[in-house]
Amino acid sequence: GSNMTILVTGGAGYTGSHVCIELLNQGYEVAVVDNFLTSSSDTLRNIREQTGKDVKLYAMDLGHKELVERIFTENEIAGVIHFAGIKSTGVYKRNPIEYYYTNLASTLMLCKVMAEHNVKKMVFSSSEGFYGDNGADTTTYGSAKLMIERILKEVYLADPSWSIRVMRYLQEED
């Protein structure tokens, strides 16, 4: 459509899907990228039922440049809300290499493609880890989140034309 499209990474997750509903209700077009590792397609049906609108779905990982690129060439992306990131449950609890690689590489790839397409608005949200027993208490989870925040901060410092917001949910204030 001619409307601005917001890309929601991890948009099939619990929080991501609620954000999609809110965006659709506000008149935005929404593109969702999700690999469904820790989410389900039920949430997408839920989005449609609640809004009567569809999101454009890219079922894939953010680690592949040519795939991420396609999202930006096929849509007029105005900004990105970044929820993507696996929770440190199951296999990842015992495999920090996979865990960090997946979370950090996907964020770096996303930023790289965003920069190339001059889309420099991002909201980074790490709320997914705070629902239920998703390993919010594990150091790997917290460390990965802080690393991503650090990366985004340096992206902004190197190029202040970026607009980056970091959102944290349900956390004690320092």
3-state helix, strand, coil in the chain (%, to 5): 45, 20, 35
Q: For 30-61, b where at least 16 C-beta lie within 10 A, e where not — what string?
A: bbbbbbebbbeeebbebbeeebebebebbeeb
| Residue 28 annotated among the catalytic residues of the structure | no
The answer to whether 58 and 102 are in contact (CB under 8 A) is no
Q: Which of 14, 131, 141, 156 does the annotation list as catalytic? A: 141
SS3 116: helix
What is the distance between the alpha carbons of residues 148 and 102, in angstroms, rounded to a whole number? Answer: 12
Q: How many CB atoms lie within 10 A of CB 145?
A: 18
Query: In Å, what is the CA distance from 61 to each residue of 3, 9, 37, 129, 133?
Result: 25, 10, 9, 19, 23
Q: What is the largest CA-CA distance in the chain?
A: 46
Q: Which residues are catalytic?
A: 141
